[in-house]
Structure 1
């Protein structure tokens, strides 16, 4: 049996849906069955929803019973390290054979992971997992293309989006590509002791991103470069908690310090997944960006 945690989040949900598309049974750990059902996960064939809390081993008996491989995802929060390390302990106790950690690695060349609290936490959990004695694999995507959907309201209304990246490049990867890789990795096993980085197929400035959204929607879209201080004010005005805005400030500062981005497609190639170009992603979401259907 395969278990996916964090099944109601962006990546967890995409991976569970990929299992359903491939008609392969999967168990999905959720904290609230009602919420998970309302999100549509309960309607997917072959998906066994199980309620539990990754931080509390006593709630995980049914979830971990008979599980061979686990994909471990949890919310990026201040307690991520503790949450995932406790869950790793529960997996070891339950006799799980292989834990795949959904991790992350920035695409910027020379990026210091210790300068951003969430990449720092990912590395802490990776080291803990490597030391416990189970088979492990780290799946490390870079920035997600889907983060640009956060800017869809101003793109649709004003034909513009406002970030503080200047001419910094990023190499965003489509969450659907990650889901396809994760499905094949979990279904087939193997790759123990490997760290699998993933980026998208292009290193793009925000001006490049704007051009591709414009191409996809048939409407002019421009990138407006704002100061880091203005970006922070925009985040707080949008309801982002101050602690999370602090973390994003750390990430932004390191990205601006290391403005060139690498492209790494070896994991796509290893699992036979065609990399999605950003314009194709933008066409798929053209309506959200203010274009036609």
Structure 2
């Protein structure tokens, strides 16, 4: 039995859908019973409700589980939440944990400067010191983060991507590709004690991202290189908590410093996954880009 935590989130739900598509039996752990109901229709998937930080709720979900995919929301509680899960997984007799981690694609990006990558590093090291067999899957930024409605996505009101990183490039990866790699790591043996990096097949500036969305939709989308202070003020005015704004500021600053991104398709090649280009992603999600703009 496989358990996927954070199954209602962006990454977790992508993995759960891929498990169902491949006919792999798994449990999907969510905190909200309503979100569990939304997963109930997926074949081979058993939704379970529980809090990763509460051992009394987590132990029943881990009953009979041999392998788990560790994901939780990138909040200030992420380190405590995932460490608590690792401790409970040891008690429950889980054999192996695959941690969905992260690695920025920017060349020279300092993982200790940005709290997000620093948190992942803390959890990775804790998992490695545990009695559990471990595997790390480290994707770069997701292509889905550019969709309207995401914190760093296009604004549907004016089809603008306001990103204060100048002409720096990023190498975003499609979550569908990441989900395929995660299923391979969960369903097969031989990956213990290894780390797998994943980026998309291209390093793109934000202007190039906008150009690909424009080509896919037949509408004009653009990148606006706003000053850092203006972007942070806009996010705060939109209601983002101060700690989230601070987190994104750290990321923007480091991405501005590291202007070149590295493409790493080693995991795609190892698992026979065709890398999804951003142009293809934009075509597959054209209705989401244009529809959001029409509704705004």
Instruction: Place the TM-score, normalised by the shorter chain, in its bin.
Output: over 0.9
Do structure 1's residue 93 and structure 2's residue 91 form an aligned pair?
A: yes
In structure 2, C-alpha distance between the alignment counterparts of 1:159 and 1:102, rounded to whole Å: 31
Partner of 1:122: 120
Distance 2:242 2:155 in 1: 24
**Cα drift, residue 46 of structure 1:** 1.2
Secondary structure of 2:272 counterpart: coil
User: Which residue pairs with 2:145 in the alignment?
Assistant: 147
Q: Is the 8 A contact 1:151 1:161 kept in 2?
A: no
Residues 1:74 and 2:72 are matched in the alignment: yes
Task: Tell me the residue number matched to 1:230.
Answer: 230
3-state SS of the aligned residue for 1:195? strand
Deviation of the 1:151 alpha carbon: 6.3
Q: Contact (CA 8 Å) 1:71, 1:100: kept in 2 or not?
A: yes
Structure 2 residue 250 is the aligned partner of structure 1 residue 250: yes
Structure 2 residue runs of 5 or longer lacking an equivalent are none
**Distance (Å, rounded) in 1 between the aligned partners of 2:149 and 2:168:** 18
Q: What is the rounded CA distance, in whole Å, between the counterparts of 1:64 and 1:13 in structure 2?
A: 18
Q: What's the offset of the Cα at 1:257?
A: 1.0
CA contact (8 A) 1:197 1:264 kept: yes
- Counterparts of 1:266-285 in structure 2, within 5 Å, are 266-285=266-285
Structure-2 residue corresponding to 1:5: 5
Give the Cα separation in 2 of the matches to 1:104 and 1:229. Answer: 26
Report the 3-state secondary structure (helix = DSSP H, G, I; strand = E; otherwise coil) of the residue aligned with 1:99: strand
> Does the residue aligned with 2:28 lie in a helix, a strand or coil?
strand
Partner of 1:165: 165
Q: Which residue of 2 aligns with 1:22?
A: 22
The alignment's TM-score, normalised by the length of structure 2, stands at 0.94
1:253, distance to aligned residue in structure 2 (A): 0.6
**Counterpart of 1:134?**
132
* Contact in 1 for aligned 2:148/2:155 (Cα 8 Å): no
Q: TM-score scaled by structure 1?
A: 0.95
Alpha-carbon RMSD across the aligned residues, in angstroms, is: 1.6
Q: Is 1:212 matched with 2:212?
A: yes
CA distance in 1 between partners of 2:187 and 2:154 (Å): 40
2-structure distance, mates of 1:276, 1:234: 32
Worse-superposed segment, 264-273 or 53-62: 53-62
Report the alpha carbon displacement of residue 190 of structure 1 after superposing the two structures with TM. 2.3
The residue matched to 1:138 in structure 2 has which SS? strand
Q: Is the 8 A contact 2:171 2:200 kept in 1?
A: yes
How far, CA to CA, are the matches of 1:41 and 1:35 in structure 2? 7
**What is the SS of the residue equivalent to 1:288?**
helix
Q: Per-residue CA shift, 1:159-215, capped at 9, x if unaligned? A: 432111100100000011101111111111321111111000000001110110111
Q: Residues 50 and 229 of structure 1: is their aligned pair in 2 closer, same or farther, counting only changes over 3 Å?
A: same
Alignment of 1:59-70 (within 5 A): 59-70=57-68
Where do 5+ consecutive residues of structure 1 fail to align?
none
Change (3 A) 1:224 1:63: same
Q: Give the aligned length.
A: 290
- Once the two structures are superposed, residues 128-157 of structure 1 have per-residue CA deviations (whole angstroms, 9 ceiling, x without a partner) of 000012110011000000110136886554
Q: Is the 8 A contact 1:68 1:96 kept in 2?
A: yes
Distance 1:132 1:58 in 2: 21
